[in-house]
């Protein structure tokens, strides 16, 4: 459930922040793009990807009324832009009645830029759209991905090294305190999937699944802070106070059950879930995850 806002998309910013990284700042889009060829920076290619990002946002903005409908009610026709179709497809594959395609907006945007860029050259493209990351790797390239136990944490607590043979093209994080609304109580849910769009939608579903009943959990209607939300009338989590260990374990188990369901369907490679001070992850991540604490 995204708090995407298209009311200020007129001002465009595209600039190189170092010799290998480009920043795209345009309305709700804040993207970092890196393009390399066997370690050699391709800043011109990253800049070209940034210009493509402007077009991606404009395509999405044109179809916002459609994208704010429940995904199950939408027919993704060939007449729609590819990024819009991928948002719809990712949300529909989750088979969650309350999901709209906006659950995949950041991931699908990252995918669109990454796909465009890797087709132009390079062996490694990384597109980071506010923590929803599209990866395109060739040959023996790898990508190091930090995992936080709280979305606003200053540094990651775990590390994953992504290789080509893992089939991971996207990493997305959802949870309490992020850019989007959540119905659960997870402080962070990080998902690995074939695409960033799938990872983004799945992270939303898994994070939502962590909700448990407790007086210390405060909820509110999202339209009270964002009138144009795509989930008006549906309660979201505002704060989680001190809750017991049993409730934390219950939330983790519910999140893992949702992750395993999506994994069994081949929609995700794995998921990491943090609730308060406890973490859990799907067994599929065991060979790749490293504790940095």
Read off the pLDDT of residues 48-60 as tens digits, 9 standing for 90 and up.
Answer: 999 999 999 999 9
pLDDT > 70? residue 1: no
Under the banding of pLDDT at 50, 70 and 90, the label for residue 27 is confident
- Residue 87 pLDDT: 98
List pLDDT tens digits, range 96-135: 999 999 999 999 999 999 999 999 999 999 999 999 999 9
Residue for token pair 């709700």: 28
Mean pLDDT rounded to a whole number for the chain = 94
Q: Measuring CA to CA, which residue among 195, 176, 199 is closest to residue 187? A: 176
pLDDT of residue 10: 57
Q: Which two tokens stand for residue 163?
A: 């290789």
| Dihedral of alpha carbons 109, 112, 114, 120, sign | negative
Residues 6+ apart with CB under 8 A from 116: 48, 49, 52
Q: To which H or E segment does residue 202 belong?
A: helix 196-208
- Residues in Cβ contact with 235 at an 8 Å cutoff, skipping those fewer than 6 apart: 183, 219, 220, 221
What is the average pLDDT across 24-51?
96
Question: In this predicted structure, what is the pLDDT of residue 11?
Answer: 83
**Among candidate residues 214, 221, 216, 201, the one with its CA nearest the CA of residue 271:** 201
pLDDT for residue 219 is more than 60: yes
Element (H, E) at 256: helix 245-264
Q: What is the CA radius of gyration of the chain?
A: 18
Alpha carbons 176 and 186: distance in angstroms, whole number: 6
Asked if the model's pLDDT at residue 258 lies above 50, the reply is yes
For residues 209 and 247, give the distance between their C-alpha atoms in angstroms, rounded to a whole number. 13
Whether the Cβ atoms of residue 170 and residue 110 lie closer than 8 Å to each other: yes
DSSP summary character for residue 235: -
How crowded is the C-beta side of 177, counted as CA atoms within 13 Å? Answer: 16
pLDDT value at 155 more than 50: yes
Tell me, what's the pLDDT at 179?
75
CA distances to 60, 62, 94, 123 from 146, rounded to whole Å, are 29, 34, 25, 21
- pLDDT value at position 6? 46
β-bridge mates for residue 55, sequence order? none
pLDDT at 178: 73
Tokens 């390079």 belong to which residue? 122
- The token pair at 236 is 């979201």
The reported pLDDT for the residue numbered 177 is: 84
What confidence category does residue 3 fall into, taking pLDDT thresholds of 50, 70 and 90? very low
Domains along the sequence of the chain with CATH: 12-291 (3.10.520.10)
Q: What is the pLDDT of residues 182-209, one digit of tens each?
A: 999 999 999 999 999 999 999 999 999 9
- Res 82 pLDDT > 80: yes
Q: What is the pLDDT averaged over residues 6-35?
A: 86
- Are 175 and 182 contacting, i.e. CB atoms less than 8 angstroms apart? yes
What stretches of 222-284 adopt beta strand conformation (E)?
236-240, 270-275, 278-281
How far apart CA 167 and CA 176 sit, in angstroms, is 28
């Amino acid at each position: 459930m995204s708090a995407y806002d298209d009311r200020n998309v007129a001002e465009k910013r595209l600039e190189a922040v170092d010799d290998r990284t480009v920043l795209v700042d345009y309305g709700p889009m804040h993207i970092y793009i890196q393009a390399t060829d066997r370690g050699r920076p391709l800043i011109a290619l990253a800049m070209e990807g940034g210009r493509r990002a402007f077009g991606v946002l404009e395509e999405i903005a044109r179809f916002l009324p459609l994208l704010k409908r429940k995904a199950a009610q939408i027919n993704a026709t060939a007449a729609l832009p590819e990024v819009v179709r991928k948002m719809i497809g990712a949300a529909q594959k989750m088979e969650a009645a309350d999901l709209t395609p906006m659950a995949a907006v950041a991931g699908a945007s990252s995918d669109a830029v990454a796909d465009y860029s890797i087709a132009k050259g390079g062996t490694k493209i990384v597109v980071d759209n506010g923590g929803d990351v599209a990866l395109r790797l060739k040959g023996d390239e790898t990508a190091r991905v930090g995992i936080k136990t709280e979305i606003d944490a200053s540094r990651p607590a775990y590390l994953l090294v992504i290789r080509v043979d893992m089939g991971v093209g996207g990493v997305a994080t959802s949870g309490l305190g992020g850019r989007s609304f959540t119905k659960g109580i997870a402080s962070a849910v990080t998902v690995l999937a074939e695409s960033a769009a799938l990872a983004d939608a799945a992270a939303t579903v898994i994070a939502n699944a962590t909700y448990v009943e407790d007086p210390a959990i405060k909820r509110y209607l999202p339209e009270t802070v964002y009138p144009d939300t795509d989930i008006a009338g549906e309660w979201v989590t505002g704060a989680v106070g001190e809750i017991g260990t049993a409730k934390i374990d219950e939330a983790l188990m519910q999140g893992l059950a949702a992750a395993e369901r999506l994994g069994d369907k081949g929609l995700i490679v794995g998921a990491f879930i943090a609730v308060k001070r406890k973490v859990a992850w799907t067994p599929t991540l065991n060979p790749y995850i490293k504790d940095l604490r």
